[in-house]
């Protein structure tokens, strides 16, 4: 018996799944809004009922994070997401303005390629499956190899639930022979209509360069500015709560703290009181060496680990009650690993003199890495918040809340999502919290409302007040006479 090439097997499997998905999508497109919503509800309920099992599987297989927090992420991706989109029109005629003679029809994009990271595997599968089916699409998943089993089980659970109430066979599937070649085939195959990419920068770049339309997100590297007017104990509590949630594996989580000199000591004291551990200069240098790999990318060994596990990796000793490791920093750039994204309980700590300096430092950090993603400000000064809103390059500016839970829409009124667009400044095709609205196109149906002769007759350019440009050149008395004449004409 000859050897079987794994890459060839994986490519063939991918092609087969895509062909079946294409056939299934044609059937999905025939379903009514009510039928689609019934399927989504069944999928979400099954995922929610298995949230604990899937969370434990993900933590055990990847070694990342805390299963208890992954339970909450699975609930967020199923129940909370369903509630947010249950009344959304995504099928057939979604707008019909009779007076304007204008109609909009939702048109599914077709087959979605869902790229899944190891940091949030089960919750991301639930989320992407639900928004894809809600918009009338089929989806084929490319799993991260280190999370294959939990991803396969998640797909099985939601697939069976959907099929029990009318989801066509093949509408949700997952590649089981995982190779780079399979992922490339998935992204470039003619049966793939859109790539929904969540993962590292290399994956997102590959998605955008594949030749297939893509929605991808860049890295998060959000600063958290504790402005002098903030409720400091509450701000510190929220930051620690956010940064330790699932051991920092959500990309919206805070990566650095910025404080003003006037409140520096109070902030440091509060962090120490609540479990923040400030590294000595020597220990900070030791840990710095383990944040990045030689090629400049994040070291996967620190991802989703506890503060104690990260410290042990670097050969330093920290208290058992330390929640987050904090290193004082002044630099930003390639030679400053603390200024980078760190999906683990590690924070950089910057001190500035004024809020303007904090704003400028935030811009510098984000433009180096994380542009277009997320930032949080803790302040009671609305004018400062407005200034940041006008000038800082992020798609989500969060005020007085957890960056992790606020950014994904769990504790804010942002649309619940686990794919957070970074906009053009971040190299993304959208700045949205991605949802079903991003996974269908609009067909506009319009009626003629004016004739060519009427257009030819419109030989004056009116300003916003309704006055023609020619009128503006008249004298004041002439304008008054003209306005009186027009009023009298209307009264007639």
Residues with active-site annotation: 251
**Pairing state between β 194-197 and 214-216:** parallel
**From the CB of residue 330, how many other CB atoms can be counted at a distance below 10 Å?**
13
**From the CB of residue 261, how many other CB atoms can be counted at a distance below 10 Å?**
12
Kindly tell me the sign of the dihedral angle through the C-alpha atoms of 325, 326, 327, 332: positive
Whether the Cβ atoms of residue 192 and residue 185 lie closer than 8 Å to each other: no
Q: Which of 298, 131, 112, 303 is nearest to 219 (CA)?
A: 298
Q: Which helix (H) or strand (E) holds 442?
A: strand 440-446
Q: Which of 304, 314, 260, 305 is nearest to 283 (CA)?
A: 314
Cα(67)–Cα(53) distance, integer angstroms: 9
Eight-class DSSP state of 375: E
Q: Which helix (H) or strand (E) holds 153?
A: helix 148-163
Whether the Cβ atoms of residue 347 and residue 326 lie closer than 8 Å to each other: yes
Cα(95)–Cα(97) distance, integer angstroms: 6
Nearest-5° angle of CA 30, CA 36, CA 39? Answer: 125
Eight-class DSSP state of 298: B
Cα(60)–Cα(57) distance, integer angstroms: 5
**Pairing state between β 111-115 and 172-174:** unpaired
61, two tokens: 């297989």
- What's CA 359's distance to the chain center, in Å? 23
Who contacts 156 (Cβ-Cβ below 8 Å, separation ≥6)? none
């Amino acid at each position: 018996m000859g050897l079987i090439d794994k890459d060839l097997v994986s490519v063939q499997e991918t092609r087969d799944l895509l062909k079946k998905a294409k056939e299934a999508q044609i059937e999905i497109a025939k379903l009514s809004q009510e039928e689609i919503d019934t399927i989504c509800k069944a999928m979400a309920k099954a995922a929610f009922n298995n949230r604990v099992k899937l969370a434990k599987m993900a933590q055990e297989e990847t070694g990342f994070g805390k299963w208890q927090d992954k339970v909450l992420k699975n609930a967020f991706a199923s129940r909370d997401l369903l509630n947010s989109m249950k009344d959304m029109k995504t099928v057939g005629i979604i707008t019909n303005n009779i007076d304007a003679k204008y109609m909009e029809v939702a048109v599914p994009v077709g087959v979605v390629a869902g790229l899944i990271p190891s940091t949030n595997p089960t919750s991301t599968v639930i989320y992407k499956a639900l928004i894809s089916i809600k918009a009338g699409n089929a989806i084929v998943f490319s799993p991260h190899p280190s999370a294959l089993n939990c991803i396969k089980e998640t797909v099985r659970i939601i697939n069976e639930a959907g099929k029990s109430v009318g989801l066509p066979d093949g509408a949700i599937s997952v590649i089981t022979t995982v190779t780079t070649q399979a992922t490339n085939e998935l992204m470039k195959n003619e049966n793939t209509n859109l790539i929904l990419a969540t993962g590292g920068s290399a994956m997102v770049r590959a998605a955008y360069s594949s030749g297939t339309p893509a929605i991808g997100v860049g890295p998060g590297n959000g600063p958290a500015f504790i402005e002098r007017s903030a409720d400091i104990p509450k701000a510190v509590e929220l930051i620690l709560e956010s940064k330790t949630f699932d051991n920092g594996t959500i990309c919206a989580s805070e990566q650095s703290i910025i404080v003003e000199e006037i409140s520096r000591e109070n902030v440091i004291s509060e962090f120490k009181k609540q479990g923040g551990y400030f590294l000595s200069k020597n220990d900070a240098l030791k840990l710095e060496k383990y944040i990045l790999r030689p090629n400049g990318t994040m070291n996967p060994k620190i991802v989703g680990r506890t503060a104690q596990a990260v410290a042990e990796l670097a050969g330093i000793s920290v208290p058992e009650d330390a929640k987050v490791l904090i290193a004082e920093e002044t630099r930003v750039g390639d030679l400053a690993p603390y200024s980078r994204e760190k999906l683990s309980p590690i924070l950089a700590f910057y001190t500035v003199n004024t809020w303007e300096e904090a704003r400028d430092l935030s811009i510098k950090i984000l433009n180096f890495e994380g542009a277009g993603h997320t930032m949080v400000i803790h302040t009671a000064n609305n004018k400062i918040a407005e200034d940041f809103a006008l000038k800082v390059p992020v798609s989500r500016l969060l005020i007085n809340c957890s960056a992790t839970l606020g950014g994904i829409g769990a504790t804010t009124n942002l649309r619940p999502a686990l794919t957070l667009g970074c906009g053009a400044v971040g190299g993304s095709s959208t700045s949205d919290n991605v949802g079903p609205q991003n996974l269908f196109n609009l067909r506009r149906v319009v009626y003629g409302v004016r004739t060519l002769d009427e257009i030819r007759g419109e030989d004056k350019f009116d300003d916003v007040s309704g006055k023609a440009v020619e009128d503006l050149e008249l004298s004041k008395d002439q304008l008054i006479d003209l306005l009186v004449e027009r009023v009298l004409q209307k009264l007639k």
